[in-house]
Structure 1
Amino acid sequence: MPCVFPVLFLKGLALVQSSGEERSRLRSHGIVYTLGILVSFWIIVAVLLILRATGSQAGWGFQLQSPTFIAVLAAGLFFFALSARRTVRPRPLPHQRRRRPRAEAGLHR
């Protein structure tokens, strides 16, 4: 599927940047990454099976026939692309903000 290409690119970039780390750490990261993918797909399959058991006609790809879904998907991809170019950055959450010392902030006393 072409939708996985950006994710594979980002993962490859992360692997290149982590080339100096220990092999055991890289291996554990790879195992956790793989398990995350498998578990997320198992959750999606479980949700679809539950929806089908309740009588809904859920399946793969039918949502792409909805103009609203397409618009939301296009907007999400657009902002993802802007974020990847560092044109737009999401604001950090309050607990993620780094407190700067006065000297860094330009407040010399």
Structure 2
Amino acid sequence: MPGHKIYAMSVASVYPLYIKKVERKGRSKDEVDQVIRWLTGFDQAALETELDSKTSFEDFFSRAPALNPNRSLIKGTICGVRIEEIEEETMREIRYLDKLVDELAKGRPMEKILRN
């Protein structure tokens, strides 16, 4: 899916939607940040810098310092598509993040979300 419009969208434009989604279900911004840090390897300061810089999804994942090796354990569907069948790397990373936020909003325990 090269050139897909979501690649150019800033993470900061979607981030408030992630927060709103989980807060409606009793979860917190800190938990969203925790799953993003787990997935990407950014520390909190670097994550906030990326958000303040309005970094695109494509650049966000290409600059991630240490993509978690356990992210391949994230399975299931997002928007009707099986994550493990997504061939394009950047789209798969974006969908991993979407799935983690969905699991958080559904009340799944953090240790299971983080594949411990």
TM-score (structure 1 length as normaliser): 0.30
- The structure that has the greater radius of gyration is 1
Which one has more relative contact order, counting CA pairs under 8 Å at least 6 apart? 2
- Normalized per residue, the structure richer in helix is 1
TM-score (structure 2 length as normaliser): 0.29
